[in-house]
Structure 1
C-alpha cells in the first residue's frame, strides 16, 4: 500500500509543471520517504508466512488507514504554504476517508499541485473503501455486507479467484465512472483542471473542491444535475454494478437498499423545494429544485459539496439536513454514514416486536432482500448503533471541552463520524470550514473520521484490552 501510495504522490509533480506545481520537491521527497518505508516492509517480510487470521486483519485494517493518513500529510506539511502538522493531518485524513471537511481556506488561489493531491487522495480512498467493505469487513463480520452475499465473504483458496474477478470488476467500474464524470464536467463548461478534480471527488463522494465556494463557483444548473447523478452513483453498491456488467440484469434495482436510497433522493428534495417555495418570495421553482436536489444528494451520500448555504434555508431545512447527515449511502459504496440498510433492518425489527406483542405465539420470518436475517446480524447492527451514538456523545463532549460552541461541537462530531464533511452553522457549515478550529479539535475530528470510515467497531475491537490479552 505504501509503494502504491508513493506512486500516486508523484502524480501532482508529473501531471503539472512549472508554476502549476511549485511544491514538486515536497511531493518527490514525500514519495521517496513513503516508497522507502514500503520497500523496507516488503523486504523485511518477503519470506514470512501470510496468515490472514481475523486478529491480524483487524490490526492491519486499522493501522493501514491510520499510517496512510499520517504519511499522506507529508506533502501538505512540506509544502511552501505554511500548513502546520495538525492541519496537514486533518486534511489528509479527510481526503483518504473521503470525508471532505477542509481546514484550508483560499482554495481559489491555492497551489494547483496541492489541490490535485487532495482530489487524488479522495479518489484513492474511495476505491480503498469499496474494497474494504466488499472484501475485508465481511471477513471480520463487521459492516453488514454479509447481508448481500458477495463471493468475497471468506478468505480461502477457493474464494480467491472469485475475489480477484470481483476486484478487477470493481476497479473497472470505478475507472469508467470517474472518466465519464471528468469528461461530462469538461463538456459542460468546467476547465479541464476543475473537471478532473471534481470528477474524481464526485465518484468518490469526497467533496473536495477547487474553490471555497465549492460547486457554487460554476453557477450552472446543468453541472449541479450532473453532479447529483455522479454522487448518487457513488452512493450505490459497486458490487451490484459488477454483477450487472456480468449479465445479472436488474439486480441493482431489485436491491432493497438501492430502492430506499433512490426514494430518499427523490422525496426529500421535493418536500424541501415546496417548503422553500412557500417561505421565499420570487422563488425560481426549477433552479430551486435543482439546488435542493444537489445539496440533499450531497449530504445523503456524505459527499459534502455545496452550491449555497443550505443551513440558512429555514428551521425546517436545518433540522432535515441534520437528520440527513445520519443516513449515508448504501453498503458497498464510497459513502459514509450509518448506511440505509441499518435503518431498514431497524424497521424490520420494530415490526417484528410489534407483531410479537399482538401475537405472542406467532412464528415470524425476518427477511431482507429475500434472505433470512440472522440474530448475529441484528446484534451487530444494535452494537454498531449503540457505539455510534456513544462515540458521537464522547466526541461532542471533548470538542465542547475545547471551548467550541455546542452546534459546532455536535455537528462537527457528526460530520466526522458519518464522513459527511461540512457541519451546520456559520463556522463549519457549507459556507465555512474547519480552519478556525484549534489544533486539538482537528486531531479529535481526524480520529472521528477514521472511526467512522472503519465502521467504528473495527477500531473499538483493536482498542479493547481483551483483544491484546489473548
Structure 2
C-alpha cells in the first residue's frame, strides 16, 4: 500500500476543496451578512491543512492499486467532512458545537439532507449557499471530479472511480479513458443543474433560491434555504419542476450520457432498472393518493399533489417536503421510508441500496421458488434479456445481508443512547439511505438527538454514501495484509 502517495493525494484534494469556499465568500460580500471572516479563516485552515499533508510527501508518485483507491475514498470523505465543518463551527450564526458542525457538513457532502439547524430562513445567505454547495459537490462525488484532473497530478484514477461510483457494477466506463468518463458525468451533472435553476427561476423563485435549490435537487440532497422546504413556495409549477428533476437525477447517469450521444430517449423505457424504478414510484403514488383521499386527509386533487411530490422525494432519497408525511394516516409514513431503501438507480446521485439490487434480489427469489418445482433445472437470473453472472448475484446478496446487519446494529446503538424505537429506526433509515427526514423526534430536525447518537449517525451517513463495503473493508485484517 502506497501510504505516502495516498497522503499526497489527500493533501492535494483538500487544497482543491478549499477553493469551494470562494463562492460563499462572494455571496457574503454581496449580501454583507457578516460571515466573510469565518469563510476566510476556514479557507486558510483548509489550505494550510492540505499543504501540511502534501509537503512531506510531495515527491512521491506511483500508480494506485485497488486497495489504495478504497483507502483514499474513505479518508477523503472523512477528512473532507472535518474540513467542511470549519465554516459552520467558526460562524457566530449559526452557533454550532463541533459535533453539530460536523454532522451538518457530512450530511451535506453525503447528500443526506438531515439537518440540526432550526430557523433556517433567518440564517446568513452565505451559510445557506455553502450548505447547498456542499450537497452539490457531494452529489456526483468529489472523488470523480478529482479523477478528471488526476492525469495532471500524475496519478491513475480508475481505482478511485471503482471505489466511489455507486452501484453493483463498477467496471463499465462510458468512454475509453476514465478522465473523459468523469468529465462526461460532470458535464451532464452541471447541465442538469443549470436547466433546473432556470426552471425554478422561471417558476417564481428568486435567483438565489433557484440556484440553491437546483444544487440540492440534482444532487438529491434535500437541503433547502427555508424551514418549510419546497412547501414554503406553495407553488404547483415549482413542485412539478422539482419532481421532474428528482426523477431524472435518480436515473442512471449512463442513460443521460447515451441520450445525449445518440439524441434519443427510448433507451430510458428499454432499461429494466429504469422501468422498475418508475413502477415503484407509480405504485407508491397510487396507494398514497388513495389512502389520503379515502381518509379525508386531503381532497382528491390535493391528495394526488402531495402524494406525487412526497413519494418521489422520499423514494429518490431527496428528502424535500411540501407536507409533513410523518403525520399521514395509517401505514403511509412507514411505506414511504421503506421505499427509500431501494433509493435511486445505480450510478445516480440517489441513495439507498439501489433499484438494480432490489430487482436482482426479487428475481433471485423467484428463481428459488421455481427451483422448488424443478430442482434440477438451470435457471439463470436475467435482466433485460441478459443472464447475470452468479458472482454478481452472490455479491448483491452479500451486500443486502451486510446492509441489514449494519442497519440493525446502528439501530440498537441509537436505542442504547436513549432514543425511542421509532426515532431510532427511522434515523438509521434516514442516514444510511442518505434520505434526510425521519419519523418521531427526527421528522423535521436532528437537533434534539444527543451527541453520541449524532456521531453514530455521521458514521451511518458515510456508510450509506460509500455503499457499506467501501468503508467496512477497511476494518478487515485481510485489507491491511501485504
Distance 1:322 1:340, change over 3 A: same
Query: How far does residue 367 in structure 1 lie from its aligned partner after superposition?
Result: 2.0
Where does 1:155-174 land on structure 2 (aligned, <5 Å)?
161-174=176-189
Matched, 1:146 2:169: yes
> How far apart, CA to CA, are the structure 2 residues paired with 1:135 and 1:278?
53
Contact persistence 2:28–2:35 (CA under 8 A): no
> How far apart, CA to CA, are the structure 2 residues paired with 1:202 and 1:424?
22
Distance 1:130 1:253, change over 3 A: farther
The two structures, once aligned, show a CA RMSD in angstroms of 2.2
* Secondary structure of 1:289's aligned partner: helix
1:252 to 268, 273, 276: 268
Where does 1:1-400 land on structure 2 (aligned, <5 Å)?
1-17=13-29, 19-81=31-93, 82-128=95-141, 131=144, 139-140=162-163, 144-146=167-169, 150-151=172-173, 161-247=176-262, 249=264, 250-280=266-296, 283-400=298-415
Name the stretch that deviates more: 382-391 or 97-106: 382-391
Aligned match of 1:417: 432
> How far apart, CA to CA, are the structure 2 residues paired with 1:129 and 1:376?
29
Query: How far does residue 129 in structure 1 lie from its aligned partner after superposition?
Result: 6.9
- TM-score norm. by structure 2 comes to 0.90
Distance 1:189 1:366, change over 3 A: same
Query: How far does residue 138 in structure 1 lie from its aligned partner after superposition?
Result: 7.1
* Secondary structure of 1:412's aligned partner: helix
Distance 1:139 1:108, change over 3 A: closer
Query: How far does residue 171 in structure 1 lie from its aligned partner after superposition?
Result: 1.0
Aligned match of 1:156: none
* Secondary structure of 1:16's aligned partner: helix
> How far apart, CA to CA, are the structure 2 residues paired with 1:87 and 1:362?
56
Distance 1:268 1:17, change over 3 A: same
Contact persistence 2:144–2:161 (CA under 8 A): no
> How far apart, CA to CA, are the structure 1 residues paired with 2:315 and 2:366?
25
> How far apart, CA to CA, are the structure 1 residues paired with 2:106 and 2:161?
24
- Matched pairs, number: 458
Contact persistence 1:130–1:334 (CA under 8 A): no
> How far apart, CA to CA, are the structure 1 residues paired with 2:412 and 2:309?
32
2:458 to 437, 441, 446: 446
> How far apart, CA to CA, are the structure 1 residues paired with 2:182 and 2:163?
18
* Secondary structure of 2:169's aligned partner: helix
- List structure 1 segments (4+ residues) > 6 angstroms apart after TM superposition: none
For residues 249-308 of structure 1, the C-alpha deviation after alignment (integer angstroms, 9 at most, x for no partner) is 333332111111122222311221111111106x33223212111111111111111111
Structure 1 runs not aligned, ≥5 long: 153-158
Aligned match of 1:155: none
> How far apart, CA to CA, are the structure 2 residues paired with 1:22 and 1:370?
59
Query: How far does residue 464 in structure 1 lie from its aligned partner after superposition?
Result: 1.6
For residues 5-42 of structure 1, the C-alpha deviation after alignment (integer angstroms, 9 at most, x for no partner) is 11111211113326543211111111122123333444
Distance 1:170 1:260, change over 3 A: same
